[in-house]
C-alpha cells in the first residue's frame, strides 16, 4: 500500500493536482480540509467545534485530524492501491502521529511531494479560489494571512522532518496545471 503526502502552502494547487493523480492511479484522495468541511455541512458535533477554528484560519487539534485519517485508512484499505494525503500532516505532532498510525499497520509514508510557491503568489491564488468556491475562510485578508503564517510556523518545519527520512521531493508550483502534473507523474 502506498501512502503519499501532497505537501505545500494553501493555494499551491494540491487539491487540483490530487484530483488528476487519483484518476491516473487507483488512490484515494484524503483531504483533511474537505473532510472537515463535510463535517460542518453535516452539522456534526465535530463540525460545529471545527467551524470557528477554520473560519479564523487556525488549525484544529492534532488528535481530531489524525483520528479522521486513521478511520479513513481503516475504512478504505481494501478499496485502493494507495492514499494521497492532502493538507495532512500539518504539524510535527501530526507527522509523528501519522508515523505511529502507519507503524501499527505495518506500513510507512512512501514519499512527500511538495508544491513550492512563493508567498507573493499564494495570497492571490487563495483569494481567487475563494471567489470560485465560496470558502468563508479565504475571503478575509487577515484570515488568509493567518493561514499563510501558520503554514510557515507550523507546517514548513515538516520539510526537514521528511528530508531526514529521504522521502522529500519538491516541485515548482508555478506553471500550468498540466505542466505541474507532468512533473508529478514523473516522480510517481
Ligand atoms: P485546507 O482545505 O487544507 O486549506 O484546510 C482548511 C482548514 O481546515 C485549515 O485552515 C484548518 O483550519 C483546517 N485543517 C485542515 N487540515 C488540517 C490539519 N491537518 N490540521 C489542522 N487543521 C486542519
8 CB burial (10 A radius; 0-12, 13-18, 19+): buried
Pocket test for ligand 1, best of 18, 54, 64 (most atoms within 8 A of CB): 54
When divided into structural domains, the chain yields a total of 1
Per-residue pLDDT of the chain (188 residues; tens, 9 = 90+): 999 999 999 999 999 999 999 999 999 999 999 999 999 999 999 999 999 999 999 999 999 999 999 999 999 999 999 999 999 999 999 999 999 999 999 999 999 999 999 988 998 888 888 888 777 777 788 999 999 999 999 999 999 999 999 999 999 999 999 999 999 999 88
Q: What is the pLDDT of residue 89?
A: 98
Domain membership flag for residue 27: yes
CA atoms within 13 Å, Cβ hemisphere of 7:
30
Distance of alpha carbon 85 from alpha carbon 155, whole angstroms:
14
Domain membership flag for residue 32: yes
Distance of alpha carbon 155 from alpha carbon 184, whole angstroms:
21
Q: What is the pLDDT of residue 57?
A: 93
Domain membership flag for residue 55: yes
Domain membership flag for residue 188: no
- Domain span at residue 176 reads 2-181
CA dihedral 165, 166, 167, 169 (to 10 degrees): 140
Report residues whose beta carbon is within 6 angstroms of any ligand 1 atom: 10, 32-33, 36, 53-54, 57-60, 65, 87-88, 90, 94, 137, 147
Domain membership flag for residue 186: no
pTM, two decimal places? 0.94
3-state secondary structure of 79: coil
Domain membership flag for residue 98: yes
Q: Is the dihedral of CA 95, 101, 104, 106 positive or negative?
A: negative
Quickly list DSSP for 110-175: -EEEEEE--HHHHHHHHHHHHHHH--GGGSSHHHHHHHHHHIIIIITTHHHHHHHTT-EEEEE--S
Give the CATH number of the domain where residue 99 resides: 3.40.50.300
Q: What is the pLDDT of residue 75?
A: 97
Domain membership flag for residue 65: yes
Domain membership flag for residue 187: no
Ligand 1: centre distance to CA 90 (Å): 8
Ligand 1: centre distance to CA 36 (Å): 8
Q: Count how many residues are written for the chain.
A: 188
Q: What is the pLDDT of residue 69?
A: 98
Amino acid at each position: 500500500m502506498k501512502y503519499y503526502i501532497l505537501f505545500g502552502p494553501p493555494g499551491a494547487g494540491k487539491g487540483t493536482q490530487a484530483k488528476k493523480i487519483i484518476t491516473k492511479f487507483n488512490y484515494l484522495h484524503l483531504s483533511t480540509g474537505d473532510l472537515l468541511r463535510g463535517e460542518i455541512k453535516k452539522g456534526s458535533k465535530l463540525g460545529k467545534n471545527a467551524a470557528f477554528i477554520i473560519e479564523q484560519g487556525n488549525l484544529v487539534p492534532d488528535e481530531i485530524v489524525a483520528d479522521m485519517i486513521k478511520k479513513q485508512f481503516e475504512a478504505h484499505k481494501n478499496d485502493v492501491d494507495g492514499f494521497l494525503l492532502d493538507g495532512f500532516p500539518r504539524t510535527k505532532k501530526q507527522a509523528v502521529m501519522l508515523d505511529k498510525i502507519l507503524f501499527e499497520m505495518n506500513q510507512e509514508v512512501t514519499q512527500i511531494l511538495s508544491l513550492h510557491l512563493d508567498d507573493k503568489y499564494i495570497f492571490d491564488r487563495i483569494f481567487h479560489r475563494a471567489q470560485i468556491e465560496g470558502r468563508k475562510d479565504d475571503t478575509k485578508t487577515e484570515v488568509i494571512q493567518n493561514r499563510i503564517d501558520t503554514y510557515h510556523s507550523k507546517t514548513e518545519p515538516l520539510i526537514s522532518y521528511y528530508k531526514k527520512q529521504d522521502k522529500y521531493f519538491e516541485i515548482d508550483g508555478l506553471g500550468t496545471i498540466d505542466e505541474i502534473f507532468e512533473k508529478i507523474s514523473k516522480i510517481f
